[in-house]
Homo-oligomer: A and B are copies of this chain.
């Protein structure tokens, strides 16, 4: 009892600090990193297949650069650096605003770039719901004055390729258009000043019943019941117009609405959606694309097409382990419902006016981009990986010895193998028990062990052991590298076959 008290006192002593990472952050161990690396490789391979470049920007920006870009609520979540003299700095909150700053500052008028980096939000962390204060974003954007909707379609094609290669299961890419939303709201009688707040309610339609949204709009946001009932017809069009089975049919059905078509904004939105869907057909992705008039997302800076992709199978299963993808607009209302779409794994849209905010003459650079919910994708892949063994290192050969005194021979062999670009390890002890050495190989999934024994060395041979089958073969030292290479090749072929 006394001992326990003494321990407690020691823990509470001011010189002693708690050994932990900052609230809302995590270390990633080797297993997480192995999964993350393989996901990131797939993603980057796709970006490169589309000719994208990459850039890097500092982890913090001048406070003024971020100021006023994330709405009132988002702004409160920015991490500031201490004023230690000099400039006032803030940690980046997303990758889009730094990208726009980069384009304006360097007078870059055209660029297809990706960036994968951590961003920082002083949010109330909800680890069980996967809301962290430090998390990765993975953005692909096309900047430049081009013909309408061609780059937009390529963004959707990229999402399609990435989700398909990762094997995440069925997914749906929802589409909408900022101009159509604006037009719908105007036609229904929503005041321009209320567009944003109405948007954020409407956007919840994939998770919440219409009755609740109606209630929120009327009681909390003071929209008249007549206006809300007007709205329902449009935002629930996908549910209500049951005769429309394709996106184009739904668009065509809205096009017959004279009141809507009298609004130039709505009209242009519907026309652009038609073009975008036709491009999706050319890219072979139309069947995964769905026009959804309730998709609103944050409207802070989107000016044209907006999209969001939902993975169907995992949407419920992983909702407790994930972080939402975040284009800035997402977090104007960082409530429990911040995560736009429960299974949302990619989101984006066109933002033609953001770069101009940074240009001294207000020169615009039209942009469209998509942010992958890479943390959510990591979580899904980690769930899938629980079923399989994840190798955290790639070692191919372990140089072991059953007898004492072989340290020097093992070191020489390691050198030979490393210099032949074969991934090799050996025990760091002069005399390690053979059992420990073999256990290490099995635990790490190392396919081959080379057994270095005195008696055999004198005959100029070593044994190569297949760790799984435990079969051993003698090989002359002079043929070792070739023998290892051919066995590794066979091991890789077997590995590929086992996956077929």
Q: Name A residues whose Cβ lies closer than 8 Å to a Cβ of B.
A: 10-11, 16-23, 25-30, 33-34, 37, 48-62, 64-65, 79-84, 86-87, 89, 91, 101-102, 104-106, 111-113, 118, 120, 122, 134, 142, 144, 146-147, 150-151, 153-154, 157, 161, 279, 282-284, 358, 360, 392-395, 407-408, 411-412, 414-415, 418-419, 421-425, 428-430, 444
Whether the pair B408, A282 counts as a contact (CB closer than 8 A) is: yes
Whether the pair B55, A27 counts as a contact (CB closer than 8 A) is: yes
Whether the pair A48, B394 counts as a contact (CB closer than 8 A) is: yes
CB A276 to nearest CB in B, in angstroms, measures: 12
Q: CB within 8 A of A59: which of B59, B106, B122, B161?
A: B59
Whether the pair B28, A282 counts as a contact (CB closer than 8 A) is: no
This chain: copies in complex: 2
| B residues near A79, Cβ cutoff 8 Å | 81-82, 84
The 9 closest A-B CB pairs, nearest first, are A146-B428, A30-B53, A25-B58, A17-B64, A51-B395, A51-B425, A80-B82, A282-B411, A28-B56
| B residues near A80, Cβ cutoff 8 Å | 81-82, 84
Whether the pair B161, A58 counts as a contact (CB closer than 8 A) is: no
Whether the pair A393, B53 counts as a contact (CB closer than 8 A) is: yes
Q: CB within 8 A of A360: which of B11, B59, B105, B153?
A: B11
| B residues near A112, Cβ cutoff 8 Å | 393
Whether the pair B61, A150 counts as a contact (CB closer than 8 A) is: no
Query: Can you name 23 A-B pairs with beta carbons within 8 Å?
Result: A17-B62, A17-B64, A17-B65, A21-B62, A22-B58, A22-B61, A23-B87, A27-B58, A28-B57, A29-B55, A37-B54, A49-B421, A49-B423, A50-B418, A50-B425, A58-B134, A79-B84, A150-B407, A161-B418, A282-B411, A282-B415, A283-B414, A284-B415
User: In whole angstroms, how far apart are the Cα atoms of A48 and B33 in the complex?
Assistant: 13
Residue among A17, A81, A151 with most chain B CB within 10 A = A81
Known contacts A81-B82, A358-B19, A424-B50: A279-B105 contact under CB 8 Å: no
Residue among A54, A101, A412 with most chain B CB within 10 A = A54
| B residues near A392, Cβ cutoff 8 Å | 53
User: In whole angstroms, how far apart are the Cα atoms of A113 and B32 in the complex?
Assistant: 14
Whether the pair A51, B423 counts as a contact (CB closer than 8 A) is: yes
User: In whole angstroms, how far apart are the Cα atoms of A34 and B10 in the complex?
Assistant: 51
